[in-house]
Chain A
Amino acid sequence: MKTVVCVKQVPDSETKVVIPEGGLWIDDSNVNYVLNPYDEYAVEEALRIQEKLGGEIIIVSAGPGRAATAIRNALAMGANSGVHIKDDNLRMGLSVAKILAEAIKPLEPDLILLGKQAIDDDNLQVGPMIAELLNLPSVSVVSKLEITENGGTAERDIEGGKEVMEFSLPAVITAQKGLNEPRYASLKGIMMAKKKPMVEKQASDIPGGITITKMEYPPKRQEGKTFKNGVEAVPEVVRLLREEAKAI
């Protein structure tokens, strides 16, 4: 089983977003970059599949120089090798999928795993787009996965339930929280990751098709009323919900 896991390096979820004056993306000078949490589930799942079926795991990431750290993070968890497509452009959407698909194609994987979304642009686009560009089946937002030599079964979250899908390999699967509990890299894993092969490539000159014209904070909420008298406040709050907020 040859598995490709696509990963992205993103600001961690505790990041306090700071938008520079007139800026179109966040000020990242104090940002702690991490392996995208949903991609961690994808890496973990690849490792579990490898433990069962053997084979190799290749990590592919597109991004600036710092993105190499995210690849090393995944190698430290146990993946075998990395491909870093160097790209300094802030990209989202179809051009990302094209760059990744181009890098994945010659690797001829049996399985492509990635997180269901990156927690920076929150697009949920790249997984199914890669599947389409490589003409493969896909199942997205997967919280349970069973892979055999030729195919698999995946449960994906939908409103009020789950769809159980059967698919043939090769296929693209995007990981949802709950798929597994990602392991921590061991010290040995971190040391070994430094020696694992990593190929660097320059991103091909695919123009990005999305233009950001403004970035802003969400509007501040109106200041609310806080009652410090505990249970005695209940009738008043319910009255306000009904008469002032008209929420019930």
Chain B
Amino acid sequence: MSDYAAFFIEIRDGKIRNVSYETATVARNLAKESGLIPIGIAVGSGFSTDLDIFGKYGIPEVVAVDHAGFSDYSPEAYTAAVVDFIKKYNPSFFIMSASAMGKDLSPRIAARLDTELISDIIDIKLVDGKIEAVKPVFAGKARITISTNSPIQFVTLRPKVFLPSEDSATSCTVTASDFDPSSVEVRARIKEVIKGTSGKVDLTEADIIVSGGRGLQDTKNFDILEKLAEAVGGVVGASRAVVDAGWRPHADQVGQTGKTVTPGLYIAIGISGAIQHLAGMSSSKCIVAVNKDPDAPIFTIADYGIVGDLFEIVPALTEEFNKVIR
């Protein structure tokens, strides 16, 4: 039996990404329930001084693999660093985020350790010391409860589902790891990072999303959605029809072949609500739908629906939000 419940701290551009507080919170709660010590592992370059912030989340120790060789993400080098940590500390639990980096890195780590991985979970509990996790399948049309017998219980958390919570503050010791990436053969490396043109928050991390569908009729009409999104502090998403028509980039697509999102508020404009769209957004906390067809399936899952002409309703919504949100 090991002493630790471990979690991964994701670093990009030298900064701690918010999903790291989600993994920290889950690892700390598991540790409390099973009498273990929560411990973080951070891999990157030039960040170690910030890591004591995890003390606020009740984390007494973080291991920092801080080396110029980790300034950019590399599946091979990061796998080696994390596996080195896991072999040294032998944690009972290992928690990562199902972020872009987590989705790429976690399967490699699992395969190298010969351990099973439970991906993209939305609920977790302990049964006889093992994790029982709930994960959506068929793009959220169903969910399964799964467990593994692996000695390291390894899961990734769907972002924005497990909200970070602080705990009785403790002082967090940052331990420098001596792992040296120069011993790792790296055959895939980042040449360049292209930032999205708008620099907007990614849909999977947005608190408010305003999505447009075929009802918008033309790519230029997304202007009114951009204005609405701005008024309400959200980002613009899109249905598959709109992406397939080339009106919006694929990165904006919500649904089964796009992104699965769980914002606090999802505003669906001119989206009928095909099953594959509903799959990607029906876990949103609050859903508003605007559609001219009173029988559109989107109304069956909306908390607030308005039947009518979106070209009248959207500007009115923008104006009303501008009035009340200040």
B-binding residues in A (CB < 8 A): 11, 13-17, 19, 24, 26, 37-38, 93-94, 97, 119-129, 131-133, 136-141, 143, 153, 155-168, 171, 176-178, 209-218, 221-222, 224-231, 233-235, 237-238, 240-242, 245, 247-248
Contact = CB atoms under 8 A, between A and B. Distances in A.
Contacts of B309: 230-231
A124 to B, nearest CB: 5
A123 B135 CA distance: 9
Given A17-B141, A24-B144, A242-B324, A128 B104 contact: yes
Give the top 7 A-B pairs by smallest Cβ distance, nearest first.
A230-B308, A137-B187, A137-B188, A132-B111, A167-B188, A159-B202, A226-B305
Contacts of A167: 187-189
Contacts of A133: 111
A229 B308 contact: yes
18 contacts: A14-B275, A14-B276, A94-B110, A128-B104, A131-B75, A138-B108, A158-B100, A161-B195, A171-B188, A210-B147, A213-B145, A216-B142, A217-B143, A222-B303, A226-B305, A230-B308, A241-B265, A247-B264
Contact of A226 (B112, B186, B282, B294): B294
Interface stretch (B47-55, B57-65, B117-125, B216-224): B117-125
Contacts of B140: 218
A93 to B, nearest CB: 5
Interface in B64-119: 73, 75-76, 79, 98-101, 103-108, 110-112, 114-119
A221 B303 contact: yes
A234 B146 contact: no
Contacts of B106: 125
Most B CB within 10 A of own CB, among A128, A162, A216, A247: A247
B2 interface: no
Contacts of B306: 226-227, 230, 233-234, 237
Contact of B145 (A11, A125, A214, A245): A214
Nearest to B253: A177
A212 B275 contact: no
A162 B194 contact: yes
